[in-house]
Amino acid sequence: MKKDNRSYILLRYGLVIVFILWLAACIVVKLCETTVVDADKWNQRANELLSQTKEIIPGRGNILASDGSVLATNLNFYTARIDYRAEKFNEKLFRDTIDQLAARMAEHFPVKSAEQWKKHLLKPLDKVKEKRPRAYKLMSGLSHADMETLRTFPFFSIKNRNRNGLTFEKYMRRFNPYGDMARRSIGGVGETAESKEIHGISGLEKALDSLLYGKVGYSKMINLTKKITDWTDIPAIPGSDIVTTIDINMQDIVESELNNVLDTCGADWGVAVLMDVKNGDIKAISNLERNPRGPGYIEARNRAVMGYEPGSVVKTLSMMIAVEDGLVPDLDEVL
């Protein structure tokens, strides 16, 4: 009996040893294939990787008012996603806390009701695990504060990202702190037909794009002792900040008064330009036209800088110049 047990144990040990030797042989064969047989192919791929260069997009400069107030700047925003196929995704806890989670989502992000958030969050679980999304979009346009708040919600407060599946994608967006104020004068940014890079497409953003954009940098992959990493070869130069002559307080007053005048007379559109006559600085520009989709007036085409016949408006200026230059000595004279 003892002999039979010993033989059985030796057989098991023998099988384990054979398996280890077979595994070691496979590793050696694969190593030889990689380093000897296929060496040229892998060296070529490594050279291709190391020869690649990537552009580093510079930070776009800010547009400032005359007092330093920010009219346009870059801000980081985040898109929240859920990986429903995360290795240790705790589905049971997710279902147990879904009501509390949906209620907190509705409280802080009221674009959906608690019931709608619950339906939105549970929808991917209707599929079998292998077909569930790995980057299910929860919501976009989150600020850094919103992102940190989201991480305190039930289930999302789990520290291990592999258990709650919550991930964030960061992206940069041009932001106007004063909303639509002087929007046409400041302008906007976006992709152009010539380039997929973000450049100015209207207003000051376009006119001063060469200064605001900065200079593109370049990086390349280099082979360090333990790994291949991204190395900045030529650093990007951020764009310059632009200080305008716009006065925020005056701009607010001009827009409000122009809106009141247009509303009173029922005009289709109107323009107001406020200039400091001592130095010619434009302190405010407003362009309003009737809202085609509803009541009131909205910022529209920048007619203040378009080629229009000034008409009778210029007569007052002409008379002022004539009086100042002494060409009209007698103001009481009637011609």
User: Do 181 and 255 meet the contact criterion of CB atoms below 8 Å apart?
Assistant: yes
pLDDT of res. 116: 93
Mean pLDDT for the stretch of residues 59-76: 90
Evaluate the CA torsion angle 224, 226, 230, 232 in order and state its sign: negative
Per-range mean pLDDT, top range of 12-26, 187-201, 246-260, 315-329: 246-260
Residue 84: the pLDDT is: 92
Return the DSSP state at 34: I
Q: Is the pLDDT of residue 49 over 70?
A: no
With 0.85 as the threshold, say if the pTM is over it.
no
Residue 262 has phi, psi (to 5 degrees) of: -65, -40
Instruction: Say what the pLDDT of residue 200 is.
Output: 86
Q: What's the pLDDT at 223? A: 72
pLDDT of 251-260, one tens digit each?
A: 999 989 999 9
Residue 166 is predicted with a pLDDT of 92
Mean per-residue pLDDT of the chain: 85
Pairing of strands 136-142, 166-175: unpaired
At 335 the pLDDT is 63
In this predicted model, which residue has the larger pLDDT, 286 or 2? 286
* CB neighbour class for 12 (10 Å; exposed up to 12, middle 13-18, buried from 19): exposed
% residues pLDDT > 70 (the chain): 93
Q: What is the mean pLDDT of residues 258-276?
A: 89
Predicted pLDDT of residue 120: 93
Q: How does pLDDT run across 136-166, given as a tens digit for each residue?
A: 999 898 989 999 999 999 999 988 888 888 9
pLDDT band at 1 (very low <50, low <70, confident <90, very high): low
User: Of 26-30, 201-205, 229-233, 270-274, where does mean pLDDT reach its minimum?
Assistant: 229-233
**According to the model, what pLDDT value does residue 83 have?**
92
| Whether pLDDT at 291 is above 60 | yes
The strand pairing partners of 74, in sequence order, are 174
| Residue 310: band (very low, low, confident or very high) from pLDDT cuts 50, 70, 90 | low
Q: How many CB atoms lie within 10 A of CB 141?
A: 11
pLDDT for residue 245: 92
Q: Summarize pLDDT for 7-41 with one digit per residue, the tens.
A: 777 778 888 888 888 888 888 888 887 777 777 77
Give me the pLDDT at residue 51, please: 67
Query: Could you tell me where the DSSP H helices lie in the chain?
Result: 2-32, 39-51, 91-96, 98-108, 114-122, 144-150, 161-164, 183-186, 203-207, 209-213, 248-265, 313-324
Q: What percent of the chain has pLDDT over 90?
A: 26
pLDDT tens sequence across 81-136: 999 988 888 989 999 999 999 999 999 999 999 999 999 999 999 888 888 999 99
Mean pLDDT of 218-246: 82
User: Residue 179: what pLDDT?
Assistant: 83
Tokens (6 digits) for 309: 């016949």
**201 pLDDT higher than 80:** yes
- The answer on pLDDT for 273 being more than 60 is yes
- CATH fold for domain 56-243: Penicillin-binding protein 2a (Domain 2) (3.90.1310)
Q: Is the pLDDT of residue 72 over 70?
A: yes
